[in-house]
């Protein structure tokens, strides 16, 4: 069974936590602590929890349940014009989402407390849904997302090692909103590759090859390689941006998308949106199946 929170749409409040394993604690210690997190979470508050691990750490703790070939984000991606996507890989990741800010806050504190002595908080970011379905550029985000009917086929490893798990790409992108908003709407649309009002993809005749759509819509043998996005806005009025939360059944699709955005492919074309947004973090996590995590959960007292 896949962790259901991956597909739990509709929550307006979010908290993302990354953890580093403490000296003296083992990967198995961390997995066991995370597997026991259902206790601190409040079911009455309508809170979803999704957890993941650095691919190498999960493979060490649960080699029979690790998807093959998945690696941590340990080296920056260097693209055109010296552009870089930084690598800030941590050991574990927790995403608390809910309808109420108080519940998300309290449960996030409980998650941290449950891991005390085993892992320390390496990063914490709070997110929220901006104008229902738009990011802070003002454009609709996730237009290319598959429907929930087909999303599991895109986001979840179907069979073999790691069946029921997912590969997460987690990045924080800081926006230069002031500069972007000074562009005429028509130029903003050429940067994105869609109309701003209703997110209609630009015609091929006017679609720039460096538009965000052109660089992130990846096709092989005429078939689009899709991912499942759960992005949110983050930050303050003076510093803000997008939390990229992208799930796939294979890491290769995510890596290819990033390299195309950076201009680190043969054509050397860089995503024009990266002129107005800056990646400040980057990590991959394996999101284990509930079944795999249950092997590490503490036994019921009764």
Please identify every residue annotated as catalytic: 141
DSSP 46: T
Burial pattern 198-213, b for ≥16 Cβ within 10 A else e, equals: ebeebeeeebbebbbb
Partnered with residue 77 across adjacent β-strands are 85
E strand segments, 22-140: 48-53, 77-78, 84-85, 92-98, 119-128
The radius of gyration of the chain's CA atoms, rounded to the nearest angstrom, is: 19
Report yes or no: 245 and 142 within 8 Å, Cβ to Cβ. Answer: no
**30: number of CA atoms within 13 Å, CB side?**
29
Nearest C-alpha neighbor of 244 from the set 148, 175, 154: 175
Q: Which residues contact 273 (CB under 8 A, 6 or more apart)?
A: 137, 191, 192, 211, 212, 261
The DSSP result for 190-239, as a single string, is HHHTB-TTT-PBPPTTT--TTSHHHHH--EETTEE---EE--EEEE-SSS
Phi first, then psi: give them for residue 301, nearest 5 degrees: -60, -30
Matching residue, tokens 């990354």: 18
- For 197, left (φ over 0), alpha (ψ -120 to 50), or beta? alpha
Matching residue, tokens 């069946």: 163
Phi first, then psi: give them for residue 245, nearest 5 degrees: -130, 95
């Amino acid at each position: 069974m896949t962790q259901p929170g991956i597909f739990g749409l509709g929550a307006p409040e979010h908290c993302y936590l990354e953890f580093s394993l403490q000296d003296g604690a083992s990967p198995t210690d961390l997995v066991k602590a995370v597997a026991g997190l259902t206790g601190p979470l409040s079911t009455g508050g309508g809170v979803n929890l999704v957890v993941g691990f650095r691919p190498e750490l999960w493979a060490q703790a649960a080699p029979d349940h690790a998807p093959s070939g998945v690696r941590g984000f340990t080296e920056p991606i260097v693209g055109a014009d010296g552009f870089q996507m930084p690598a800030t890989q941590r050991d574990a990741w927790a995403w608390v989402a809910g309808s109420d800010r108080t519940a998300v806050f309290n449960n996030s504190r409980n998650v941290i407390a449950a891991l005390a002595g085993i892992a320390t908080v390496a990063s914490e970011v709070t997110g929220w849904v901006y104008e229902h379905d738009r990011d802070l550029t003002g454009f609709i985000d996730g237009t290319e997302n598959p429907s929930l009917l087909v999303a599991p086929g895109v986001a979840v490893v179907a069979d073999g090692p790691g069946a029921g798990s997912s590969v997460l790409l987690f990045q924080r992108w800081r926006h230069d909103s002031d500069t972007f908003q000074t562009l005429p709407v028509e130029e903003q649309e050429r940067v994105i590759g869609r109309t701003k009002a209703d997110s209609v993809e630009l015609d091929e005749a006017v679609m720039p090859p460096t538009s965000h759509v052109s660089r992130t819509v990846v096709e092989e043998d005429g078939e689009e390689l899709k991912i499942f996005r759960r992005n949110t806005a983050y930050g303050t009025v003076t510093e803000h941006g997008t939390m990229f939360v992208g799930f796939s059944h294979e890491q290769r699709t995510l890596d290819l998308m990033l390299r195309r955005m950076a201009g680190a492919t043969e054509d050397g074309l860089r995503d024009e949106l990266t002129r107005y947004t800056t990646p400040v973090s980057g990590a991959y996590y394996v999101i284990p199946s509930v079944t795999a995590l249950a092997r590490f959960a503490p036994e019921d007292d009764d």
